[in-house]
Amino acid sequence: MNPANDISSESILKDFPTLKRRFDGKRLVYLDSAATSLKPESVIEAVADFYRNHNANIHRGVYRLSQEATALYEETRKKLKRFFNVPEDGEIVYTKGTTEAINLVVISWARKFLKRGDTILLSQLEHHSNMVPWQLVARERDARILYIPIDDRGNLDMDFFLNAIKGGVRLVSVNHISNVLGTMNPVEEIAKVAHENGALVLIDGAQSAPHIPVDLRAIGADFYAVSGHKMLGPTGTGFLYAKKSLLKEMDPYQAGGDMIREVTLEGATWNEIPYKFEAGTQNIAGIVGLGAAVDYLETIGMERIREHGERLALETRRRISEIEGVRLFGSDDSSPGGVVSFNVGDIHAHDVGTILDSYGVAIRTGHHCAQPLMERLGVPATARASFHIYNIESDIESLYNGLKKVTEVFGKWS
């Protein structure tokens, strides 16, 4: 990899083989990184190299191949600890991604410690994966859920939060950056106030980890969930950060091999943290690939990635707002997650996406697993363009030209 000093240049595109694809003679313009990022060649090669040269199960083997696999697997944990400034060893638990990480907390912490009458504080911005698990456990434990409202620009009503947190809230769970609006929430302030009022804090970092510097020591959250596949890593990878004191109190999420210390016919005792939460054979090759993704991101620098995404998102909002009938959602300010959601007149978002695809432009359409937010916005769905380091200025122009074609196909709207 040899990224240019200016990551908006086309030189970085060669690191991403998927961008060589052409559709109907048109180059691929990939604007769906909020759903999953493309993978650089170095990540793909790291996965392939594992299977070619190091394929063995981890932790259990005394032979050299197994020891190599174990070292590679654990090296990624060290990289993640450094990359996210994790306070202590043992506080990173591998998962398939953010969804599994949140469910781990729900099952291993909430089922054990949530009591009747406790309050869980969420927000209207949340992805379904940070709503539905809490709804299930709240029903099971006879707890209640309150939702922090948002204003028309997508910002949390912090006055509501400050009042609600004084009312016996047991846990606050909010995203760091919205997958629909690109809103970045003040998570450090939320964690500080929550702790002052005796509540724990979980942050959904699915959209923040790929785009901005994340300092878990500074944020101070009790739990932080990350998806590896959104930060240039393989699918089926991610992790839960959790304070060691909480992990010690939590019960295992799954039972089986490698998460035990001793098993008898009468019962079992658990392995040390974090291994008591990593039952069975993990996605070892994927975790090795995630380590390669961290290397790639570090080489470029997260501040540069943030600036790049913000600049592309702002320019996209400016450019497509010139098209008659385009309605933009969220704030006109910068979007650190590189997300722009919009609709075109009364044309359904799916139709917008289908026509754009015929011009090689790939966007996401629908409710983005955030149906309560769609209801708050007063729409059934939106179109969403989302950017990462492999997007360039001409991608915005391709989107603009595609949207002009959309308006031509559908003509004037009511």
Round to whole Å and give the CA distance between 181 and 350. Answer: 18
Residue 44 burial (C-beta neighbours within 10 Å; 0-12, 13-18, 19+):
middle
DSSP letters spanning 207-276: TTTTTS---HHHH--SEEEEEGGGTTS-TT-EEEEE-HHHHHHSPPSS-STTSEEEE-SS-EEEPSTTGG
- 27 in helix, strand or coil? strand
- Single out the catalytic residue among 132, 136, 314, 369: 369
Residues 72/50, Cβ–Cβ less than 8 Å: yes
369 assigned to active site:
yes
Distance (Å, whole) CA 368 – CA 156: 19
Are 202 and 220 a contacting pair, CB within 8 Å? no
CA distance readout (Å), 19 to 29, 212, 252, 274, 401:
8, 23, 41, 37, 19
DSSP β-bridge partners for residue 138:
none
Q: Tell me the catalytic residues.
A: 369
